[in-house]
């Protein structure tokens, strides 16, 4: 069983949705990123590590601002792999890379899959690569045992949801709202239940929900219908302001318990 599946299973047995924090690699600095990632992993079931990219179309202003800062500091692809290795040395939990396709294409598909696997990554989350255009990447991921996660959104047609759900090998990532990432109020998450229900008609894999989760209340709304809760911008905002990152992680973790 993969670390990813094991993480979701362990959370389910504990009566929770899996807690999945996100941070961009190298933010706010190489050393602090590793410290913050390990702090979040104390609460997390698995973690997304973002590959800083100059044109993050699916990300809102918070993540854009963070990744721009990292890139201005001269962060490179080699730094990215080093960051993953540093985190992997200190955790056995599942680690995933969230990346747009262009950096993969530029590095070379097989080289990228091989190098992230060597660094300790279990899966990729691909926000801008639909599975019907991943015909060369999918067999490479299978070759190196790197799980793939594609995205669905409230605007996805039933046929598109079926295609994505059947193509995922890690988990299905359901975007909670139309638009970009960023903390929102819980009222913006009303489309989630039907989207998760539709995805589960086509796969036995877990379905995690991201975009818009910022606190215990919004995490609880997601946890009531999904297998995983993804949180990113709220942590970056907290780091920016010098806030209590561990405290926020504990607060959101508490929201992942499903009501009995």
Domains of the chain: 3-254 (3.20.20.70)
Out of 36, 45, 59, 115, pick the active-site residue.
Answer: 59
Out of 36, 45, 48, 122, pick the active-site residue.
Answer: 48
- Please confirm whether the linkage preceding 153 is cis (ω < 30° from 0): no
Q: 52: number of CA atoms within 13 Å, CB side?
A: 28
Within 10 Å of residue 5's Cβ, how many Cβ atoms?
A: 17
pLDDT at 111 over 60: yes
Predicted pLDDT at 125: 97
Cβ atoms of 100 and 124 closer than 8 Å: no
pLDDT confidence bin for 70, thresholds 50/70/90: very high
pLDDT confidence bin for 189, thresholds 50/70/90: low
Predicted pLDDT at 13: 96
Q: Over the stretch 159-168, which tens digit does the pLDDT of each residue have?
A: 999 999 999 9
Taking all residues of the chain, what is their mean pLDDT, rounded to a whole number?
91
92 is catalytic: no
Predicted pLDDT at 55: 78
For the segment 93-107, the average pLDDT, to the nearest whole number, is 96
59 is catalytic: yes
For the segment 221-245, the average pLDDT, to the nearest whole number, is 93
CB-count exposure of residue 209 (10 Å: 0-12, 13-18, 19+): buried
DSSP H or E segment with residue 200 = helix 192-200
Residue 61 Cα distances to 163, 178, 199, angstroms: 30, 15, 28
pLDDT at 96 over 90: yes
């Amino acid at each position: 069983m993969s670390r990813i599946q094991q993480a979701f299973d362990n959370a389910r047995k504990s009566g929770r949705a899996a807690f999945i924090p996100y941070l961009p690699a190298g933010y706010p600095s190489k050393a602090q990123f590793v410290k913050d990632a390990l702090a979040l992993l104390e609460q997390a079931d698995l973690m997304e590590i973002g590959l800083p990219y100059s044109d993050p179309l699916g990300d809102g202003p918070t993540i854009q601002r963070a990744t721009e800062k990292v890139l201005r500091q001269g962060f490179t692809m080699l730094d990215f792999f080093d960051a993953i290795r540093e985190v992997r040395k200190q955790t056995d939990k599942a680690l995933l890379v969230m990346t747009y396709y262009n950096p993969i294409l530029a590095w070379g598909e097989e080289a990228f899959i091989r190098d992230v696997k060597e660094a300790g990554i279990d899966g990729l989350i691909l926000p801008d690569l639909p599975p019907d255009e991943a015909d060369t990447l999918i067999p490479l991921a299978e070759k190196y045992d790197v799980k793939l996660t594609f995205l669905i959104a409230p605007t996805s047609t039933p046929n598109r949801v079926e295609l994505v759900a059947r193509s995922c090998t890690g988990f299905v990532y359901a975007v909670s709202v139309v638009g970009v990432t960023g903390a929102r109020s819980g009222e913006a998450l009303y489309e989630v239940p039907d989207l998760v229900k539709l995805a589960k008609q086509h796969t036995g894999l877990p379905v995690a929900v991201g975009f818009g989760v910022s606190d215990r209340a919004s995490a609880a709304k997601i946890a009531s219908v999904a297998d995983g809760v993804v949180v990113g911008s709220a942590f970056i905002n907290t780091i920016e302001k010098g806030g209590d990152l561990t405290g926020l992680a504990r607060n959101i973790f508490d929201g992942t318990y499903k009501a009995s």
